[in-house]
Amino acid sequence: ENHDDGKEAKESEDDGGVLTFSRGQESEEVEKGKAVRNQLALWDQLMEGRIKMQKVLMTANRLPQPDTYPRFRKEGGQDFDNAVQNCCKALEALLKVLVELQDELLYQYPGTRHLVDGKQAKAESEDEILSSSDEEPVEKAQEKRRSLPKRKLKFEEYPEFIAKRYRDFRTYRNSTLQKWHDKTKLATGKMGKGFGAFERSVLAQIDHVLLDRERLLRRTQTRRSLYTVLGKQEQQPAPAPQPGPDNSEVLPPSDSNRHLKDIDEEIFDDDDFYHQLLRELIERKTTSLDPNDQVAMGRQWLAIQKLRSKIKKKVDRKASKGRRIRFHVHSKLVSFMAPIDLCTMNDDAR
């Protein structure tokens, strides 16, 4: 059959002058396209869950911290304890669902199945690629997954379990990153050309970034948006500067970015990474539709507008009601000529 497919491809090349896919190659390319489409759909669903959990993270950053928690518990009494208990139950249920989802995804792929069933991982060569005939059907894998005993973890056991799962997954993650990094370089023709020979591997680059662990921790402990932590005293703004000896007005320093200098070890703030994911999602959705399909374009526009509303804009909340002086800097004097006013603000608004 392979010989016949090759013969058909050769005949089509001789007749039309263009090499076409054989039947076997065509079906293989179709399966690859379906796999990529399924991966993108799964990524979109994971991103939707990530967007919903961002609200939970922002709310958790506002909760009372250890130094003020006893006072809240004393003042709140039994109602406060009941609310904390209900919150812990909800978090435990969320952790259980997320762990079950992770188990389901890891068990469907033979390369990561050992992370769930606890069996020894199979040694794979770097050139080995699992074909569709070698992979186990999804229905059969799900049936085996249901036959495994369900894991019952207590709330305090989740941190240790998640840390162990991360350590076990590291080997597969590193091998996959290195394999696809090499394939990408080979496909783009950058293997051993020019300065490409001096490039470090992707794993070495990641390790180099993770060397400065203190700086990375500080980035996650920096408040990147304006919110108030319950029970915590906010920093007082700097006093307004006094006018100079010639009674010239001195503008006060802007405190619109003052929260970026506020480092709190009790919070986890990744707004910069979260907004970057949102931007990439919006860019991909705006370029993946057929412009002739007006109905799909309308639905996509509504979804994109909802995503854009989640991206916070930098707004100076203290600039309203005339509390911030608005001014326009004139251009420098060139050849003793008066500057050309390019400002769109009229005189009444100044």
- Cα 230 off chain centre by: 27
Hey, what are 263's tokens? Answer: 């480092």
Q: Which residue has the higher pLDDT, 277 or 19?
A: 277
Question: Which pLDDT does position 290 carry in this prediction?
Answer: 59
pLDDT confidence of residue 177: 92
Taking CA atoms, 196 is separated from 126, 176, 178, 192, in Å, by: 22, 21, 16, 6
Instruction: Give the tens place of pLDDT for each residue, 138-149.
Output: 666 667 666 666
Phi, psi angle pair for 337, to nearest 5°: -105, 145
d(CA 274, CA 220): 12
Closest to 109 in 3D by CA, of 72, 88, 134: 134
3-state SS string over 170-224? HHHHHHHHHHHHHHHHHHHCCCCCHHHHHCCCHHHHHHHHCCCHHHHHHHHCECC
Q: Taking residues 251-262, what's their average pLDDT? A: 56
What are 214-230's pLDDT values in tens digits?
999 999 998 888 888 88
The CA–CA distances, whole Å, from 27 to 2, 5, 24 equal 13, 12, 5
Q: Is the pLDDT of residue 263 over 60?
A: yes
The pLDDT of 167-176, averaged and rounded, is 93
Task: Give the pLDDT band (50/70/90) at residue 17.
Answer: very low
Other CB atoms within 10 Å distance of the CB of residue 332: 6
Residue 102 near residue 165, CB atoms below 8 Å: yes
Q: For residue 133, what pLDDT is reported?
A: 46
Confidence check: pLDDT of 58 > 70: yes
pLDDT at 95 over 70: yes
